[in-house]
Chains A and B, each alone.
Chain A
């Protein structure tokens, strides 16, 4: 065996070396034609110094260094040429323009929460020739998340400043995370619960001016939470009841019929939604959630959420962005708040170094600051810091201590409609990596 191995080593690989030789010859055509070029009878009659010798001396080491890239180039050239042949680039442009194409399209996505997600979406520009758009969407995921909805209408109808949208659907969120209540919850207490049910909502929109819009909405939710047992086959998280006492989890074992009514005012004076240089955005959203709780309890609380962001262009696309967001839940007399309706912090558009829903409390506050600068045309880089905290009652126990920090950076590919963002965030507990699309801060 040893002798055989030595023999192979001394004579080289029977396939590799001939292959390398072929690659060398085909990838270094300049050397092949150099001899012809020195034929002075065919050129100018003059013999000029050309330093061709360097090409010969360095041919092999240069070839060795370049080979991986040349092979990669050959591999990449195939799909690129395919794109050209099939007008695929136009489709790619339409996807990145954030105009989801009409007709039947596959839907794919992935996140640590849902796992790999896939399904189908059908969009019609005009349902039954009414001029009203329609969307039917259904997805399933490897973490057994299920979603199905039918949505009719949109923020703007019939080229008017008014819009109306209605949606009905059902969902099953099987692997929701819960870490406990309050700012001092521990990542070690990560646990699992499930939420499933149906929903129906109606929204009315009014684009008052270019920058100012108002929205009114009402929603019915039929929610059946589960303790996550039997649904934890993927991953190693405990059931929520293995970590926390039932008393702390109001609404866990009850099927609730909740209704929510509210309104919002949005003032958006950003210059480019995908990557604002100047301007800002403010949003105030107020709603009331009510319903019968388990036993003789009642669910009822006000949800007040405000967010304001401001963008200051330092010079030529170098932008300093600031954001402040807060949410306050105000229960009525003798009414309670289901644990899954509480304020949450964490995720790609929140406290970025922490998982979605890492912190739960009645109220939450979040501050963000970002420095953004152009890297190339529609690609920006950014550095950020987020500071966030949940509170039991912001009006009574607000303090600047105990805030959790996240910091990091990333790249953002943008256009006027939105952006695709690659973020690396670091907090006290872990690094987080996101690839997300949207137009948020």
Chain B
């Protein structure tokens, strides 16, 4: 018995040691001498049409709340990475930390500023459904928590019609509109959503239209059924109904994508989704507008064709459960602060006899406009934010992913956020004001936290001025309005992934010129350089705000000694 235990110990110890060793050695060069691609090759024409994916909603919830979490905790590779702090970098980020345009994401406000008008227009390509002529219901969904219809306007454009819950006008439709504009500006594919007004008296029904009752029986959809269904939704005093008309996405829907793994029958989908930067970093963006319902079912894959052949485009959909809305009611206080079934909080509560108090306990919606629901910024903390269920992509987020997301959040000024909120067309101006103020405060907290985890320096540019190499940069902590106090910086220079000497203080400003000592070392290194990689140097920069040094950022540059050769080849915020 003891022998067996000893043998087990040796084997286990060996595996752990090898793992840590390999983990430490697994780093490859963090720069690329090739320019970053503008687009990923993820939109190549499909050789065959992928099949429709129809995962179980309940199983998704059960699995993500329990089995997935247990399995994650038993993933030794992952736990070792956690222990050693060697996180697994996103697989689709380039050496500059960016995400190329793809079937998932298009760089928009985060890389090139959009105007508030552009943000407000969002993905929309038309002016909304034609309300001058009656709509025709072509498909109806009466069961479930929220009813919905497919309706066609007089132009033949099909929309999915979404409502506000009875007693809560503008709640879900407002949230849907704001988040649509926000996530579009961030760069995600989202549907075209329009605020519109439905007149139940003028609506027409497609001939032979049927619906399935609770028992699954097909029955004719009549005006009486429509009126019965509309009893569940918020109506205006004139009897009309404010709705979100969500334009049917162009292409063939093939079901939701998963935040884990890949779609096996899509050859373009070769990066595990939990390691895509735009899905990991979505956690930070979701925190701003409290998009806690990031389950697979709130995504959709579409077989799209832009003229170069069919490919799968990936969408985020259904934002009715964002901000302070829970689609069919104001958001319960715990959502956004705990999982639906939060085993960790439950176990801690159980064994501490309830002495541990959670941030969402005792919360109150007092003072919040009814159209907003429960959405606040006081109790909100970025590390304490949680989606409805554990999300594999969010669980893999590292500092660089978070910084990527935070930079996009930082790109939104008050005017930009107001443009998003204006899309909700709230009848109560106080709702708009409250949301803008709350979003700005959440933005501040998000930036403060995630910028605090790295040196939030950006927009690096290297040049050779007057015979000396110079690096300029932008301090996001200051440009995004987190502090009015001046920052302190220090740097050191190195060859490839190494560093020479100790940090040198940068007395003022956000640019530096290498001193003669560093220039001499670079010249010496160039003399023995044989490959292009031997001509890669780095500058490690560290920023200090409010008396605290941030984690350094390392900027890699290529330089062969000629004046025009200096160029950036990589940035590592996790240096």
Nearest neighbor of A55 in chain B, beta-carbon distance: B77
Q: How far is the CA of A72 from the CA of B214 in the complex (A)?
A: 31
Asked whether B485 is an interface residue with its Cβ less than 8 Å from the other chain, the reply is no
Asked whether A318 is an interface residue with its Cβ less than 8 Å from the other chain, the reply is yes
Across the interface, do B31 and A46 meet the contact criterion of CB distance under 8 Å? yes
Asked whether A400 is an interface residue with its Cβ less than 8 Å from the other chain, the reply is no
Q: How far is the CA of A4 from the CA of B488 in the complex (A)?
A: 76
Across the interface, do A373 and B353 meet the contact criterion of CB distance under 8 Å? yes
- The contact string, 1 if C-beta is below 8 Å from chain B, for chain A 44-84, is 11111111111111110110011001101100110011011
Specify which of B56, B76, B570 lies most central, judged by the most chain A CB atoms within 10 Å of its CB: B76
Instruction: Chain A residues near B111: list those with CB within 8 A.
Output: none
Across the interface, do B345 and A376 meet the contact criterion of CB distance under 8 Å? yes
- Given A42-B41, A373-B349, A62 and B23 contact (CB-CB distance below 8 Å): no
Q: How far is the CA of A379 from the CA of B354 in the complex (A)?
A: 12
- Given A37-B271, A381-B350, A58 and B56 contact (CB-CB distance below 8 Å): no
Instruction: Chain A residues near B100: list those with CB within 8 A.
Output: 44
Asked whether A331 is an interface residue with its Cβ less than 8 Å from the other chain, the reply is no
Across the interface, do B56 and A84 meet the contact criterion of CB distance under 8 Å? yes
Across the interface, do B74 and A42 meet the contact criterion of CB distance under 8 Å? no
Across the interface, do B32 and A53 meet the contact criterion of CB distance under 8 Å? no
Interface size class of A (residues with CB under 8 A): 35 or more
| Number of A-B residue pairs at CB separation under 8 A | 178
Asked whether B382 is an interface residue with its Cβ less than 8 Å from the other chain, the reply is no
Across the interface, do A33 and B30 meet the contact criterion of CB distance under 8 Å? no
Cross-chain contact of A317 among B86, B94, B354 (Cβ < 8 A): B354
Asked whether B466 is an interface residue with its Cβ less than 8 Å from the other chain, the reply is no
Asked whether A14 is an interface residue with its Cβ less than 8 Å from the other chain, the reply is no
Q: How far is the CB of A131 from chain B (nearest CB, A)?
A: 24
Question: Which residues from 7 to 25 on chain B have a C-beta closer than 8 Å to any C-beta of chain A?
Answer: 12, 15, 18-19, 22-23, 25
Instruction: Chain B residues near A49: list those with CB within 8 A.
Output: 26-28, 30, 89
Across the interface, do A52 and B261 meet the contact criterion of CB distance under 8 Å? no
Instruction: Chain A residues near B91: list those with CB within 8 A.
Output: 37, 43, 48, 50
Across the interface, do B270 and A62 meet the contact criterion of CB distance under 8 Å? no
Q: How far is the CB of B189 from chain A (nearest CB, A)?
A: 20
Instruction: Chain B residues near A58: list those with CB within 8 A.
Output: 15, 19, 75-77, 80
Q: How far is the CA of A43 from the CA of B277 in the complex (A)?
A: 12
- The contact string, 1 if C-beta is below 8 Å from chain A, for chain B 76-111, is 111011000011111111110000100000000000
Across the interface, do B32 and A57 meet the contact criterion of CB distance under 8 Å? no
Asked whether A87 is an interface residue with its Cβ less than 8 Å from the other chain, the reply is yes
Q: How far is the CB of A66 from chain B (nearest CB, A)?
A: 5
- The contact string, 1 if C-beta is below 8 Å from chain B, for chain A 21-50, is 000000001100100110110111111111
- Given A44-B36, A53-B22, A87 and B214 contact (CB-CB distance below 8 Å): yes
Across the interface, do B23 and A54 meet the contact criterion of CB distance under 8 Å? yes
Nearest neighbor of B44 in chain A, beta-carbon distance: A42
Q: How far is the CA of A86 from the CA of B259 in the complex (A)?
A: 27
Q: How far is the CB of B492 from chain A (nearest CB, A)?
A: 20
Cross-chain contact of B36 among A29, A46, A69, A376 (Cβ < 8 A): A46
Instruction: Chain A residues near B34: list those with CB within 8 A.
Output: 45-46
Q: How far is the CA of A381 from the CA of B355 in the complex (A)?
A: 12
Question: Which residues from 28 to 66 on chain B have a C-beta closer than 8 Å to any C-beta of chain A?
Answer: 28-32, 34-37, 40-41, 56-59, 62-63
Asked whether B262 is an interface residue with its Cβ less than 8 Å from the other chain, the reply is yes
- Given A37-B271, A45-B32, A58-B75, A84 and B95 contact (CB-CB distance below 8 Å): no
Asked whether A371 is an interface residue with its Cβ less than 8 Å from the other chain, the reply is yes
Cross-chain contact of B86 among A48, A51, A316 (Cβ < 8 A): A51
Instruction: Chain A residues near B37: list those with CB within 8 A.
Output: 44-45
Cross-chain contact of B77 among A36, A54, A80, A87 (Cβ < 8 A): A54
Nearest neighbor of A41 in chain B, beta-carbon distance: B41
Across the interface, do B29 and A62 meet the contact criterion of CB distance under 8 Å? no
Across the interface, do A46 and B270 meet the contact criterion of CB distance under 8 Å? no
Asked whether A198 is an interface residue with its Cβ less than 8 Å from the other chain, the reply is no
Asked whether A211 is an interface residue with its Cβ less than 8 Å from the other chain, the reply is no
Across the interface, do A316 and B357 meet the contact criterion of CB distance under 8 Å? yes
Across the interface, do B18 and A57 meet the contact criterion of CB distance under 8 Å? yes
Asked whether B362 is an interface residue with its Cβ less than 8 Å from the other chain, the reply is yes
Q: How far is the CA of A84 from the CA of B37 in the complex (A)?
A: 44
Instruction: Chain B residues near A376: list those with CB within 8 A.
Output: 341-342, 345-346, 349
Specify which of B57, B88, B100 lies most central, judged by the most chain A CB atoms within 10 Å of its CB: B88
Please report A residues at the B interface, Cβ cutoff 8 Å.
29-30, 33, 36-37, 39-40, 42-59, 61-62, 65-66, 69-70, 72-73, 76-77, 80-81, 83-84, 87, 89-90, 316-318, 371, 373-377, 379, 381, 383
Apart from A29-B262, A47-B32, A48-B30, list 17 A-B contacts with CB within 8 A. A30-B261, A37-B270, A37-B271, A45-B36, A47-B29, A49-B30, A50-B89, A53-B19, A53-B23, A54-B23, A54-B80, A56-B22, A57-B23, A57-B77, A77-B59, A316-B357, A376-B341
Q: List 11 A-B contacts (CB under 8 A).
A: A47-B28, A53-B26, A54-B77, A61-B12, A62-B77, A69-B74, A72-B67, A73-B67, A77-B62, A80-B58, A84-B58
